[in-house]
Amino acid sequence: MRKWLVLMAALIALAVSAATQPVHAAGNGTLTIEKRVSVKSAASTQQTRPLAGARYELTRIHAIAGPITATDAHTYRTLTGPAAYHVVVNTDANGEATITGLAIGADYLLRELPGAGVKTPAAPVLIRFSPTRTRYTYTPKSGLLESAPVLPDTKQPAKIVQTGGQLRWPLGLVAAVMLGGLVVAFGLTMRTRQEG
């Protein structure tokens, strides 16, 4: 009788475990990571280069309750058992890393890890593969901020954000736009008073 109880308990535990593990279709999802960082340049546009050796961690996750928020570990859990997936990859000399064979219908958490060339990693991202979305290219923006020379009219260092350049508003143009706005507003007010 005791053997039957142990067997029944094991079968129930197996059934509960199987019920909590999501079922995913065969893996033909592909994730490509392209990592670039800024290089110092006197040019007005930001110059970049590929970063070799950047590390990324990809883990299969499942929602605990409600939608997954990649930056909130309370919204998901890491899968265990046969459905588990965890890998750490490094970018090559071209700043690229590719991961293939990822399950369709699965959620993955991608984290950029600190290391050479990555002082402050990008926030983690959720990647969800579906029958209509089997390929992703991830291009993290960490490392694409570069200090520029001090602007003479502001005494503050400018930032060249991502792959854009600097935007300087000449003081005369700003004053002309503001004055024009005031003239139009005054004219509309006067016209309304004359009609009323």
Tell whether pTM > 0.85: no
Residue 10 has pLDDT above 90, yes or no: no
pLDDT digits (tens, 9 = 90+) for 168-190: 344 555 566 666 777 777 777 77
Task: Tokens for 33, please give them.
Answer: 């990571």
- The set of residues, in sequence order, having a beta carbon less than 8 Å from that of 95 and lying 6+ positions away, is 34, 35, 36, 49, 50, 51, 52, 54
- Enumerate domains of the chain plus CATH numbers: 24-140 (2.60.40.10)
Task: Tokens for 159, please give them.
Answer: 């930032």
- The set of residues, in sequence order, having a beta carbon less than 8 Å from that of 123 and lying 6+ positions away, is 70, 71
Residue with structure tokens 């290219």? Answer: 137
Average pLDDT, rounded, for the chain: 75
Q: Which residue has the higher pLDDT, 158 or 135?
A: 135
pLDDT of residue 161: 36
pLDDT of residue 176: 62
Whole-angstrom Cα distance, residue 61 to residue 140?
20
Strands (DSSP E) contained in 35-171 are 36-39, 47-50, 55-63, 76-78, 86-90, 96-103, 107-113, 125-128, 135-138, 145-150, 157-161
Q: Which residue has the higher pLDDT, 6 or 187?
A: 187
pLDDT of residue 89: 95
pLDDT of residue 151: 43
Mean pLDDT on 7-16:
47
pLDDT of residue 136: 92
pLDDT of residue 9: 52
Cβ(35)–Cβ(88) under 8 Å? no
CB-neighbour burial class of residue 81 (10 A; exposed 0-12, middle 13-18, buried 19+): exposed
pLDDT digits (tens, 9 = 90+) for 45-104: 778 889 999 999 999 999 998 899 999 999 999 999 998 999 999 999 999 999 999 999
pLDDT of residue 2: 61
pLDDT of residue 66: 87
Percent of the chain with pLDDT over 70: 64
